[in-house]
Amino acid sequence: MTYLFVKTVHIVSARLWIGGLAALLALGLWLARHPRDALPAAVLHAAGWFGERVLVSAGMVSLLTGMGLARLSASGLQPWMLWGVLALLSVAVLDAVPLQRTLRRLNDWKVRPRDGDSKGGTLPFRANALLAVNLVLLLSAVAAMVVKPVF
Protein backbone atom coordinates (compact mmCIF):
# COMPACT_ATOMS: atom_id res chain seq x y z
CA MET A 1 0.00 0.00 0.00
CA THR A 2 2.80 2.43 0.90
CA TYR A 3 4.66 1.60 -2.33
CA LEU A 4 1.59 2.38 -4.47
CA PHE A 5 0.96 5.67 -2.67
CA VAL A 6 4.58 6.80 -3.07
CA LYS A 7 4.56 5.71 -6.72
CA THR A 8 1.35 7.68 -7.37
CA VAL A 9 2.81 10.82 -5.79
CA HIS A 10 6.00 10.28 -7.82
CA ILE A 11 4.11 9.99 -11.12
CA VAL A 12 1.83 12.96 -10.41
CA SER A 13 4.76 15.20 -9.44
CA ALA A 14 6.77 14.13 -12.48
CA ARG A 15 3.80 14.83 -14.76
CA LEU A 16 3.33 18.26 -13.21
CA TRP A 17 7.03 19.01 -13.61
CA ILE A 18 7.23 17.92 -17.25
CA GLY A 19 3.86 19.43 -18.21
CA GLY A 20 4.73 22.74 -16.57
CA LEU A 21 8.10 22.82 -18.31
CA ALA A 22 6.41 22.10 -21.64
CA ALA A 23 3.94 24.96 -20.98
CA LEU A 24 6.80 27.37 -20.22
CA LEU A 25 8.55 26.25 -23.41
CA ALA A 26 5.35 26.87 -25.42
CA LEU A 27 5.09 30.35 -23.88
CA GLY A 28 8.76 30.97 -24.68
CA LEU A 29 8.32 29.89 -28.30
CA TRP A 30 5.35 32.24 -28.63
CA LEU A 31 7.37 35.05 -27.09
CA ALA A 32 10.27 34.49 -29.48
CA ARG A 33 7.99 35.04 -32.49
CA HIS A 34 6.39 38.25 -31.21
CA PRO A 35 7.73 41.71 -30.52
CA ARG A 36 9.10 42.42 -27.08
CA ASP A 37 6.11 44.56 -26.10
CA ALA A 38 3.59 41.80 -26.92
CA LEU A 39 3.96 40.19 -23.51
CA PRO A 40 3.32 42.23 -20.40
CA ALA A 41 6.04 42.10 -17.76
CA ALA A 42 3.49 40.65 -15.33
CA VAL A 43 3.19 37.48 -17.44
CA LEU A 44 6.96 37.05 -17.52
CA HIS A 45 7.02 37.55 -13.75
CA ALA A 46 4.21 34.99 -13.30
CA ALA A 47 6.10 32.47 -15.45
CA GLY A 48 9.17 32.98 -13.26
CA TRP A 49 7.08 32.50 -10.12
CA PHE A 50 5.54 29.32 -11.58
CA GLY A 51 8.95 27.92 -12.43
CA GLU A 52 10.48 28.74 -9.06
CA ARG A 53 7.58 27.68 -6.86
CA VAL A 54 5.68 24.98 -8.73
CA LEU A 55 8.23 23.31 -11.01
CA VAL A 56 11.06 23.25 -8.47
CA SER A 57 8.68 21.85 -5.84
CA ALA A 58 7.39 19.19 -8.23
CA GLY A 59 10.98 18.27 -9.12
CA MET A 60 11.94 17.94 -5.46
CA VAL A 61 8.89 15.80 -4.69
CA SER A 62 9.67 13.66 -7.73
CA LEU A 63 13.27 13.19 -6.57
CA LEU A 64 12.34 12.38 -2.98
CA THR A 65 9.57 9.95 -3.91
CA GLY A 66 11.85 8.35 -6.50
CA MET A 67 14.45 7.80 -3.80
CA GLY A 68 11.71 6.37 -1.58
CA LEU A 69 10.63 4.02 -4.35
CA ALA A 70 14.22 2.85 -4.83
CA ARG A 71 14.43 2.11 -1.11
CA LEU A 72 11.06 0.29 -1.08
CA SER A 73 11.88 -1.66 -4.25
CA ALA A 74 12.56 -5.35 -3.74
CA SER A 75 15.09 -5.36 -6.59
CA GLY A 76 17.35 -2.66 -5.15
CA LEU A 77 19.05 0.13 -7.08
CA GLN A 78 18.89 -0.41 -10.85
CA PRO A 79 20.88 1.32 -13.64
CA TRP A 80 17.73 2.97 -15.03
CA MET A 81 17.17 4.53 -11.61
CA LEU A 82 20.64 6.03 -11.81
CA TRP A 83 19.77 7.54 -15.20
CA GLY A 84 16.76 9.23 -13.57
CA VAL A 85 18.99 10.74 -10.88
CA LEU A 86 21.61 11.80 -13.44
CA ALA A 87 18.94 13.42 -15.65
CA LEU A 88 17.47 15.23 -12.66
CA LEU A 89 20.89 16.55 -11.59
CA SER A 90 21.61 17.67 -15.15
CA VAL A 91 18.31 19.56 -15.28
CA ALA A 92 19.06 21.16 -11.91
CA VAL A 93 22.50 22.35 -13.07
CA LEU A 94 21.14 23.66 -16.39
CA ASP A 95 18.35 25.46 -14.57
CA ALA A 96 20.49 26.90 -11.78
CA VAL A 97 23.22 28.43 -13.91
CA PRO A 98 22.71 29.12 -17.63
CA LEU A 99 18.90 29.17 -17.73
CA GLN A 100 18.49 31.48 -14.72
CA ARG A 101 21.19 33.82 -16.04
CA THR A 102 19.53 33.91 -19.46
CA LEU A 103 16.08 34.54 -17.96
CA ARG A 104 17.41 37.40 -15.80
CA ARG A 105 19.06 38.99 -18.83
CA LEU A 106 15.86 38.49 -20.83
CA ASN A 107 13.80 40.16 -18.12
CA ASP A 108 16.25 43.09 -17.96
CA TRP A 109 16.15 43.39 -21.75
CA LYS A 110 12.34 43.47 -21.75
CA VAL A 111 12.08 45.99 -18.91
CA ARG A 112 14.91 48.29 -20.02
CA PRO A 113 15.46 47.86 -23.76
CA ARG A 114 18.55 49.49 -25.20
CA ASP A 115 18.70 50.85 -28.71
CA GLY A 116 21.04 48.92 -30.93
CA ASP A 117 21.15 45.92 -28.57
CA SER A 118 21.20 43.04 -31.02
CA LYS A 119 22.25 40.47 -28.39
CA GLY A 120 18.94 40.85 -26.58
CA GLY A 121 17.08 39.41 -29.55
CA THR A 122 18.86 36.07 -29.18
CA LEU A 123 17.95 35.67 -25.50
CA PRO A 124 14.48 34.16 -26.10
CA PHE A 125 16.01 31.58 -28.46
CA ARG A 126 18.72 30.71 -25.92
CA ALA A 127 16.14 30.36 -23.13
CA ASN A 128 13.96 28.16 -25.34
CA ALA A 129 16.92 25.97 -26.27
CA LEU A 130 17.80 25.45 -22.61
CA LEU A 131 14.17 24.69 -21.74
CA ALA A 132 14.02 22.21 -24.62
CA VAL A 133 17.19 20.45 -23.42
CA ASN A 134 15.69 20.23 -19.92
CA LEU A 135 12.49 18.76 -21.37
CA VAL A 136 14.40 16.17 -23.43
CA LEU A 137 16.44 15.14 -20.38
CA LEU A 138 13.31 14.71 -18.29
CA LEU A 139 11.53 12.77 -21.04
CA SER A 140 14.56 10.49 -21.37
CA ALA A 141 14.33 9.80 -17.64
CA VAL A 142 10.63 8.99 -18.01
CA ALA A 143 11.45 6.66 -20.91
CA ALA A 144 14.03 4.90 -18.73
CA MET A 145 11.48 4.55 -15.92
CA VAL A 146 8.87 3.09 -18.24
CA VAL A 147 11.10 0.79 -20.32
CA LYS A 148 13.45 -0.14 -17.45
CA PRO A 149 16.36 -1.21 -19.71
CA VAL A 150 18.82 -3.78 -18.44
CA PHE A 151 22.46 -2.95 -19.12
Q: What pLDDT score does 133 carry?
A: 94
Residue 72 is predicted with a pLDDT of 86
What is the pTM assigned to this prediction?
0.80
Look at residue 114 in the predicted model and tell me its pLDDT: 61
Q: What pLDDT is stored for residue 20 in this prediction?
A: 92
CA atoms of 151 and 149, how far apart (whole Å):
6
List the beta strands (DSSP E) in the chain: none
* SS3 label, residue 117: coil
Residue 39: φ, ψ to 5°: -115, 120
Instruction: Look at residue 132 in the predicted model and tell me its pLDDT.
Output: 94
Per-position pLDDT tens, the chain of length 151: 788 999 999 999 999 999 999 998 998 888 777 766 666 667 777 888 888 899 889 989 998 998 888 888 877 778 888 888 899 889 989 888 898 888 888 777 766 666 555 566 688 888 889 999 999 999 999 998 888 877 6
Residues 11/80, Cβ–Cβ less than 8 Å = no
Find, among 145, 129, 147, the residue nearest to 63 by Cα. Answer: 145
Question: What is the spatial distance between Cα 110 and Cα 74, in angstroms, rounded to a whole number?
Answer: 52
